[in-house]
Chains A and B, each alone.
Chain A
Amino acid sequence: MIKHHPTPALLLAFTQGQLGASLSIAVSAHLEHCECCRHQVLALQETSAQYLDDDIEVDEWEDDEMISTITDNDYELHPKQSSPLRVNIREHEYTLPKALQSVGLSNWLKLGKLSRARVDLNEGEVHTNLLHIEKGGAIPRHTHKGFELTLILAGEFKDEVDTYVPGDFIWLNDANTHSPSTETGCLCLTIANNSMHFVQGISQVLNPVGKLIY
């Protein structure tokens, strides 16, 4: 069962289109798994939309030309017909969330039991990846200089705090230290705005792991 959800403030920002693409995609992917958050977003959307129903002071609109430009063209738009992307990694096939179906993905880069593909969103220091951990894999104990969001898309993983399942939305910051591992393997969407900081082992040895994941 999903135990980790976006905060209400994050859901509101999502509903109002105020989050960047990476976090919006992550919330949307969570909603695919979580009915209770879907209900909340629908309610927030109705509330946000009341703005358009309010009697507010507005200037009379005078540009009639824009109206006729629009209505002169009479073709109808139909919903985009496309199906979610499938990815193959290490002989597993996964269906990606709908929110990822139109964005670019890099090739997979592999290191030990870890593989990652970048999601091309061009958001500066905020990096978004698909991360696959093969069964029995682990990430050394680390903390984060900024924030790290992990959304489980398939499989499971656990750390010192909990065991996570698809849909779990795990937000960590520099106050959290953990060492995730998976028995059966997992695919995650990860978003981070800084590289991770390893707190055990020789950090130089672990640097390639840190670079791969960020």
Chain B
Amino acid sequence: MLANDLRSHHVNMVVPTSKQVSNTKHPELCIWLQDVAINRDKLAFSKLFKWFAPRIKQFGIKQFNNEAQALELVQETMTNIWRKSHLYQKDKGAPTTWMYSIMRNMSFDMLRKLQTQRTETISDDIWPVDNILVSEDIDNFEDHLQSRNIKALLEHLPEKQKQVVSGLFYKQVTQEQLAQQLNVPIGTVKSRLRLALNKLRQLMGESDD
């Protein structure tokens, strides 16, 4: 039932590309973004902001040829990054690639609004940044994809919760067996599982329902 519970949540994610975080010349960007994603760390966000804002502004000036609109792009992009950071997966690629997609999407919708007076947000439909699948067959691939991504998410859990989830979902042992193996009461297994699932849902961008 719990496995179904996890699987029934639609997850928008990508298959990790071969390019990893090590790609970035500035690994601290990745650390800051993780701090924002996991701990809502305002100091880390302000460091990210100071790195990216001037670069986004430059991009905006090229795009809009107008400083006020470039600043609006900075504000909109960084607001999105603050509010969507929980969706960032470090195995998706460098943080700069993720931030670039958000900036490009914001800029596209702003430019379209200026040029055609159409206000629907369509960039996220055109560039589904949260789920550019690299698979041949999306339908057949989804289960596999999902379990891979959940595995990646497990890395965000405290060690004890991780043990419980990987035992139940990947080693297919029962809660009772797991309690015996770990030498803890079954109630502890259940509560660790509950905490872990809440955290996973949060990481997967789902409200707790």
Contact = CB atoms under 8 A, between A and B. Distances in A.
Given A35-B136, A98-B125, A21 B97 contact: no
A114 interface: no
A38 interface: yes
A48 interface: yes
Contacts, number: 149
B54 A58 contact: yes
Given A46-B19, A52-B52, A122 B117 contact: yes
Contact of B99 (A24, A49, A102): A49
Contacts of B17: 42, 46
Contact of B54 (A38, A61, A81): A61
B100 A48 contact: yes
Residue among A25, A55, A58 having the largest count of chain B Cβ atoms under 10 Å: A58
Contacts of B99: 49, 52
A38 B14 CA distance: 12
A44 to B, nearest CB: 11
A61 B55 contact: no
Nearest to A104: B120
A21 B123 CA distance: 9
A161 interface: no
Given A17-B104, A46-B97, A121-B118, A71 B42 contact: yes
Interface string B62-90: 01000000000011001110111011000
Given A35-B136, A76-B86, A102-B125, 6 more contacts: A25-B122, A52-B100, A67-B45, A80-B124, A100-B125, A121-B116
B116 A53 contact: no
B149 interface: no
A11 B131 CA distance: 18
B139 to A, nearest CB: 12
